[in-house]
Each structure stands twice: as C-alpha cells, then as structure tokens.
Amino acid sequence: MRQIPTPAGQIPALALGCMRLTSRSLKENEALFEAALACGAIFLDHADIYGGGECESRCGELFALHPDWRDKFWVQSKCGIVPGKRYDFSKAHILEAVDGSLKRLRTDRLDSLLLHRPDALAEPEEVAEAFSELKRAGKVRFFGVSNYNPLQIELLQKSLNEPLLFDQLQFGPAFTGMVDAGLHVNMTDGAAVMRDGGALDYCRLKGITVQAWSPLYYGFFGGVFLEDPAYEPLNQKLCELAEKYGLTPAGAAAAWIARHPARIQTIAGTTSPDHLRDLAAGCSVTLERQEWYDVYLAAGNTLP
C-alpha cells in the first residue's frame, strides 16, 4: 500500500475507522483486524465517544487476545466531545479522557491524539499544558486536531511545544469542499466560497496530514453515494475506472482521494474485511490526471 511520509514517520494511506466495532462480534472484529494487518491498513482511528467508549473496549479485547498486535498497529484516538455538554478542551478533561481511552484500549500509550471538533471556550495554554503532561508521561506520542481551520490551528500551535501533525476533515468524491474554492478562485459562484479557510493548502504548507473521514458519503452523514441513483454519473465513472484498474467502485473512490498530491489519508469506517481490502487496493493505484477530473465532474461539480 502507498505510504504517507509524516514527521512521525511513514503511515499507510488507508486507516481503519473503529466507530462501528460494537456492531460486530469479537470473532468478526478479529477477522477485520487480521485483514487490516494483511493489507497494511495498520492505522486505527478511535474516539472516546464511539459507542460511548465501547469501541475502544472492543479493540482492547483484541489486544488482550493478541498481545503482539498492539505494537503492529498505530493507535489514534480523539477526545473533547462530551455528550450532553458539547465540547471540553480543559486540561482536566483531556487528561481524564486519555486515561479512559488507555484503560479501555488496554495499552499504555496512544500513538496520536486528536482534539475532536473545535471548542469555542478552549484556552490554548491549557491545552498545551495537557499535551506536555501527556507527552512527558509517555501516554501520547503525537498530536493533531479534527475539523479545524487554519487560523484555529495557528492559534493552538502558538502555545504548543509539539507540532500538530493531523487534521481530520470530511472529504471524498461527493464531498469536495476542500478543493472547490481553489478551483473557482476569483469566481462569483457558490463553489468559490471558501468555507474551511483554505485548510487543504494550509496543511500542505505546514506538513500536516489531512485524514479524510466519511470518504464515501455525501453531505454531513447524508448517506453513501455508491449505488445511489442521485449519483448515477459518478457511480458510472467509478465503475469504468474499477473495471480498468481491477478495483471495486469503492476502491476507485479511494484511488481518487489518494491521487491528490496532498497525500491525504483515507479513513475507512467499515466492518467488512472485503470492503477494507477493496479500499486498500484502491490506495495503491495512481489515477491519470484526466481520470481524477472526470470523477470530480461526474460528481456534479463544475470547472470555470
């Protein structure tokens, strides 16, 4: 599988999103993790709110069953969303959240920790204290954010001793906001509106890896576009590419994301070993330039 260079070392172009582990049995999750190891998708993306913490616990069960697996996977989790209270980036909450994740995951460290959506009341200095304490204690190796714009990253980074290495943002063939504005510079149409502050180009400038969540969805969890009649031209184009490269349409979508020079990491929120393998195969294919634009236009986008 294609690898993405980061200041923390090489990471795979495909990560396994773990928010649905509670929907499967221990045996089924074991097969999923075995598939991840086999195809190189060894980056696990968790969050303390997934399944109310139960998804991390299910992963911890697998680490207990296979003690050697922990060192074979990159384990990432996110914190800051508090059901019923919204967001909390206080030092006390971050430290407590990480301890809870470590306990549920049955590990002594996270390879990376992301702040899960911006907290309007966050104090950058307080976040910095929490990060420094976690780093000193060996509980977290690297840090990042999720759903942040460039100015929010700059404000936080100013107080940190550690560089922010990841920004997790929604992106895929049917959710292209990160590239639309850049293609419609100086235009007056809706696609020219920059809604994320230029997050994609900023991350490229700063060496921050963009992690694409819900890559096969349209809208904010609007649904999967694959086989959706509303996205017939897009599905037809992906089927054509799938046939050409020996992929599934989902794999072709993953190839489309991987083709961008930002070296975006795709997060696959699947519980199917076969689907994971399909996406991994796509991440190893390099589409031609025209094919990338054909998919972009087939999704209903326009070019000036």
List the catalytic residues.
Answer: 50
The helix/strand/coil state of 159 is: coil
Helix (H) or strand (E) holding 166: strand 164-170
Give the separation between CA 198 and CA 177, rounded to whole angstroms: 10
Cβ(164)–Cβ(144) below 8 Å: yes
What phi and psi, each to the nearest 5 degrees, are found at residue 249? -55, -35
Closest Cα to residue 170, out of 195, 143, 141?
A: 195
Q: Which residues, in sequence order, are bridge partners of residue 217?
A: 224
Q: Give the count of alpha carbons within 13 A of 68, CB side only.
A: 2
Give the separation between CA 51 and CA 115, rounded to whole angstroms: 18
Cβ(42)–Cβ(74) below 8 Å: yes
Q: What is the DSSP letter of 139?
A: S
- The identity of residue 185, as a single letter, is V
Closest Cα to residue 22, out of 59, 70, 66, 75?
A: 59
Other C-beta atoms lying within 10 Å of the C-beta of residue 133: 15
